[in-house]
Amino acid sequence: MVAVTRAAAARQQQSSKVTSTVVLGAVRKRCVKKKKKIVGQSTSSSAPSSSLQSYNEVAGKSNITDASRYDRYGNPTGREYDLGRDGAFMGFNILIAQFYSGFQFNDAAMQVPIDALKVKGFQVKHVKTENECITELASNRYETAWIISTNQIQNSKFISALTAFHSSGGAIFLFADNTPYVCHASEFLKTKFGITVEGNYYGGKTMTYKENGHQKIGNFGQHEIFTGITNLFEGITICHPVYSTPESRTAFVTIATATDDNSSIAVYDPPPTSREGRLCLDCGFTKLYINWDSAGTARYIVNASCWLLRIENR
């Protein structure tokens, strides 16, 4: 099959005649020429993948006080409080490259986040080797790649392949944990920003939402990624980015600070004119397989995957 570019895939999606998507229990019909009005959504003739159509009305809001139910961590229950609408991301593809395969991180554990992504409409491919990842990245089938780091890079071409993917518009969700399980994230960020990743802090605590609290110990601030989350588990054994210059700190921005007063989640949002994709670094990947049911984890991971698409620019 002939591979198409991410841009071409987006155009093909926009030109499709009608796509039916289940949104909050109702069938949403999307058509370039004519779209049925949905409460809280724009009626303009923009492409069907616009953020107004793909995001819930609470997008960007953490402190939700009028939900009918809250979980035991104080976060509102119900997928209407997620960033992305159910089914709204059909036609978008995520590549998950899982290089770490240690304690309890098996296929069954990885299937849980994959299933959560599919609820939003994403198609997901799961690979476990750098060679497979390089091949898939070059196929131009994916808008986003998850990179789950381990302790050693096997293929010397991996970082250049990942850099090329990012430079051509691919978004990347970087997952690291305690040193030495940081290699893939650290080497990529070193190439991109001059930033390295290191550390072995035993966390196990919960970060809380605080207005403008991005860089305050044990807090996170306003960001679309934290939609519907007031309490978020920080991870167990966690690392942190080490910024080599003030410029790198400005470009690669902390949005959550762990209880050791180090950045635990950081993002790169390229300028509107840039062809690069977005980036997100998570410094405690045990969230994916041991702590999926901890405070806010599942919502945060899926929210971040939706935000990475930069769908408002598509």
pLDDT of 259-286, one tens digit each? 999 999 999 999 988 999 999 999 999 9
At residue 51, the pLDDT reads: 58
Q: What pLDDT digit, counting tens, does each position of 40-66 carry?
A: 233 333 334 455 589 999 999 999 999
At residue 106, the pLDDT reads: 84
Output the CA angle 54-8-122, nearest 5 degrees. Answer: 40
Q: Which of 187, 154, 174 is nearest to 97 (CA)?
A: 174
Residue 29 has pLDDT above 70, yes or no: no
Residue 112 has pLDDT above 80, yes or no: yes
* Average pLDDT over every residue of 109-121: 96
**Given the structure tokens 């920003």, which residue do they identify?**
193
Q: 174 CB contacts (<8 Å, ≥6 apart)?
A: 147, 149, 184, 185, 188, 189, 279, 280, 281, 282
At residue 82, the pLDDT reads: 98
Per 3-state DSSP, the chain is made up of helix, strand and coil in percentages (nearest 5) of: 30, 25, 50
Distances (CA, A) of 233 to 51, 177, 212, 257, 282: 27, 14, 19, 11, 12
Output the CA angle 17-19-23, nearest 5 degrees. Answer: 150
Residue 32, Cβ density class (10 Å: 0-12 exposed, 13-18 middle, ≥19 buried): middle
263: its two tokens? 């950045």
φ, ψ of residue 144 in degrees (nearest 5): -140, 145
DSSP state letters, 267-308:
EE---TT--PPPEEEES-GGGGTTSTTSTTHHHHHHHHHHHH
Task: Quote the DSSP letter at residue 44.
Answer: S
Strand partners, 28: 21
Q: What pLDDT band is residue 313 in, cutting at 50, 70 and 90?
A: confident
* Average pLDDT over every residue of 134-140: 97
Q: Which of 243, 226, 206, 234 is nearest to 299 (CA)?
A: 226
Q: Which of 173, 140, 154, 198 is nearest to 8 (CA)?
A: 140
* Average pLDDT over every residue of 131-136: 98
Q: What pLDDT band is residue 225 in, cutting at 50, 70 and 90?
A: very high
Residue 163 has pLDDT above 70, yes or no: yes
4: its two tokens? 């198409």
Between CA 45 and CA 37 the distance in angstroms is 11
Percent of the chain topping pLDDT 70 = 83
At residue 103, the pLDDT reads: 75
At residue 3, the pLDDT reads: 38
Between CA 173 and CA 301 the distance in angstroms is 9
Distances (CA, A) of 308 to 58, 67, 268: 18, 26, 10
Domains of the chain: 81-313 (3.40.50.880)
Q: What pLDDT band is residue 107 in, cutting at 50, 70 and 90?
A: confident
Between CA 43 and CA 24 the distance in angstroms is 18
Sign of CA dihedral 154, 156, 157, 160: positive
* Average pLDDT over every residue of 127-131: 97
Between CA 42 and CA 249 the distance in angstroms is 36
Upstream peptide bond of 180 is cis (omega within 30 degrees of 0) = yes
